[in-house]
Structure 1
Amino acid sequence: MFLLAGQFPGADHAATLGHAVDYAVAAEASGFDGVWLAEHHFISYGVCPSAVALAGFLLGRTSRLRVGTAAAILPNRHPVALAEEAALLDAVSGGRFDLGVARGGPWVDLEVFGTGLDRYTTGFPESLDLLLDALSGRPTVTGNGPVHQFRPVPLVPRPARPLPVWLAATSPPTVELAAARGVPLLLGMHVDDAAKTATLDRYAETATATGRNATAPEHVSAHLAYVADTVPEAEKELRDTLPGWLFRTREYVRIDGTPPAHRDLDAYVEHLLAIHPVGPPDRCVSRLTGTLAATGARRLMLAVEAAGHPDRTLESIRRLGAEVLPHLAVAG
């Protein structure tokens, strides 16, 4: 499951986060293998500002579920501090924590947290390398780059094994960076299977050229998912709620003060409905197995909150678990 902790009419921030917790608990009861958590700052499109903190809470509320971040915004954080938290959650959860990171955007976050635009642009590869080094299991980590300079220190708690990291990637440079480091991708909901396949082909080419294993990474593909008895019923419910939720992305503020580009929301909603598993269970299974076949990805994360109401969302989660996931397990 993919939870953005999106705010909908009738719920304040606290209620929205409470609903996200309820959905994660329902995911475990419904047979999902895990939950990935989004992170946003200063906008109500997603009201979780720390995917790591919410992951820690959910790991304590569940016993079997894997919990990951999709994704923690790396330029806002010191990579060694993030590595410490990941190692801690891995240790106390019995290895159920998955760390995904993202470059994010050129947003005001970088100003507020004092990291600056350079951490988003030229400093991102260095931060990723330092994070990977800190989670490698080696005795010490040190900073020798232009951004991070510090003496060798031990990571405490030290990971018992190298901990994997996933990278959210929407641009070719980030895809190539991930491939050159052997880091699997988190693929977003905004593109179809053909575009995801092209991204993974680019990844494989770069991985091969840099001596990495192009077939080993466990890429994760994100999808909007909603189960109803008929396609018209499902699409009507999401057309009623999605535009208002997506409108909240217009709360982003660029660090340079220029206005962000805005999508045509109605057209974007139709695009999402056309490419994602929305409708009866057999249609959801068909679309998701199509993604598995087309892309070669073997992990899927399903964004379930778009109905905008807890009761409808919980019922869709139940039906996904009972009527869709068993078929995906066989297909995978």
Structure 2
Amino acid sequence: MKMGVMFDFRNPKPWRKPNPEFYKSQLDEIVRMEELGFDNCWLTEHHFVEDGYNPATLPVAAAIAARTSRIRIGTFVLLMPFHNPVRLAEDVTSIDILSNGRFDLGVGQGYRAGEFSALKIPRRERAPRMAEGIELVQRLFTEENVTFDGRFTQVENMTIYPRPVQQPSPPIWIGCRTEKATARAARMGFHMMATIGPDPAPSYRAALKEAGRDPSAFNIAQLRMVYTAKTTDQAWEETAPHLHHMLKLYGDWLSEANDAEGDSAMSEIPSPEKLRYSPYAEGMMIGTPDEVARKMEKFRKEYDCSHFVMGTQMPGADPVKATRALELFAKEVMPSFQTK
């Protein structure tokens, strides 16, 4: 598996640092990740969140590109309904150039009701906006003189310049939580990102075959919370308050959206003290290197995954401690699971 880490640049009030200081610390952590041999740095997007959840993934991606030389940079995921496809194609091309061909574009349709209502975009339009938007983006990457008469965007005889470094285009991924999204990703020929909820990988592989595509040519990314420390107690002491903050926020959003199986139950989040002993902990890889390695081995047997995405820098957690956790993981765990 390719090994990557998710960064959402959240800076919650209980642990808040001045944002310039905090952003610099996150960039320093990503530079250290590259030195440790991680393959990917993934960025994620939400809007109007009090804890500062990163609303602008592409400027941050450009900053990472300027400070790194090897690690791939991607979005997991960029919320397509909130972006103009032409501007997105041009911005992604710029990052692809700045990084010399190290950018992956992952998109999703979004789910959080408050974002759609604030932007006055009907939530029922999210799927057609995403499908139309990513189709136009792909055509702008790969074609010249594009004319497109969509429901939401129209262009005539358009060619973007400069062109992306990666040809025919930067890799495109789709975030999938439902059967419809999974089928759409396979039908359009995009890689898949599995987010919270039931594993869509088997349905995705079957849909690729049905669409006449070779499943071995496509990648699947899976996200898990991972944190290593010298002792199990230390790992949970350093993560529990931050995991609780994260799960509570996602629980509120997902239970309101109720898009996939299990969403409605996400509002029932145990306290930080009880989280370690709750069912939520079963899907997390938190503990000593040996404990994390055992869980990863189980994961590797049970899930179809080419790109493993770690949530290690948790909201409000000290970046120095998170970096230390990544160093321990890179030394003690990663060599047994990373694809060279």
Residue in 1 that maps onto 2:241: 240
TM-score, normalised relative to structure 1: 0.87
2:67 corresponds to 1:61: yes
1:215-245 Cα deviation digits (max 9, x unpaired): 3211111111100123343234322332134
Deviation at 1:56, TM superposition (A): 0.5
1:240-296 Cα deviation digits (max 9, x unpaired): 33213433447869999xxx9661111894334212221111222232233333223
1:32-83 Cα deviation digits (max 9, x unpaired): 1120011110114552111111010011011211111111110000122111
What one-letter code is carried by the residue in structure 2 that aligns with 1:157? P
Give 1:319's match in structure 2, choosing from 318, 322, 328: 328
**Secondary structure of residue in 2 paired with 1:278:** strand
Residue in 2 that maps onto 1:204: 205
Alignment map for 1:96-175 (pairs within 5 Å): 96-113=102-119, 115-135=121-141, 137-160=142-165, 161-163=167-169, 164-175=171-182
Q: Which aligned segments of 4 or more residues in structure 1 are displaced greater than 6 angstroms?
A: 253-256
**Secondary structure of residue in 2 paired with 1:226:** strand
Check the 8 A contact 1:6/1:16 in 2, yes or no: no
Paired with 2:43 and 2:201, the residues of 1 have a C-alpha distance of 23
Paired with 1:255 and 1:329, the residues of 2 have a C-alpha distance of 37
2:295 corresponds to 1:287: yes
**Secondary structure of residue in 1 paired with 2:152:** coil
Check the 8 A contact 1:292/1:298 in 2, yes or no: no
Deviation at 1:158, TM superposition (A): 2.0
2:311 corresponds to 1:303: yes
Between stretches 222-231 and 104-113, larger displacement belongs to 104-113
Residue in 1 that maps onto 2:260: none
Check the 8 A contact 1:7/1:245 in 2, yes or no: no
What one-letter code is carried by the residue in structure 2 that aligns with 1:230? T
What one-letter code is carried by the residue in structure 2 that aligns with 1:149? Q
Paired with 2:290 and 2:146, the residues of 1 have a C-alpha distance of 49
What one-letter code is carried by the residue in structure 1 that aligns with 2:338? A
Check the 8 A contact 1:108/1:254 in 2, yes or no: no
Paired with 1:174 and 1:225, the residues of 2 have a C-alpha distance of 26
Check the 8 A contact 2:145/2:156 in 1, yes or no: no
Shift of the 255–134 alpha-carbon distance from structure 1 to 2, 3 Å rule, reads: farther
Check the 8 A contact 1:107/1:253 in 2, yes or no: no
Aligned length: 321
Q: Identity over the aligned pairs, expressed in percent?
A: 22
What one-letter code is carried by the residue in structure 2 that aligns with 1:175? T
Shift of the 46–254 alpha-carbon distance from structure 1 to 2, 3 Å rule, reads: farther
Give 1:51's match in structure 2, choosing from 57, 61, 65: 57
**Unpaired segments ≥5 residues, structure 1:** none
What one-letter code is carried by the residue in structure 2 that aligns with 1:94? N
What one-letter code is carried by the residue in structure 2 that aligns with 1:150? V
C-alpha RMSD of the superposition: 2.7
Give 2:187's match in structure 1, choosing from 180, 189, 198: 180
Check the 8 A contact 1:223/1:276 in 2, yes or no: yes
Check the 8 A contact 2:194/2:222 in 1, yes or no: yes
1:66-112 Cα deviation digits (max 9, x unpaired): 11111111000012211111112112211111111111115343354
Residue in 2 that maps onto 1:29: 35
Check the 8 A contact 2:26/2:319 in 1, yes or no: no
Check the 8 A contact 1:225/1:303 in 2, yes or no: yes
Paired with 2:134 and 2:160, the residues of 1 have a C-alpha distance of 16
**Secondary structure of residue in 2 paired with 1:101:** strand
Paired with 1:182 and 1:315, the residues of 2 have a C-alpha distance of 38
Between stretches 236-245 and 320-329, larger displacement belongs to 236-245
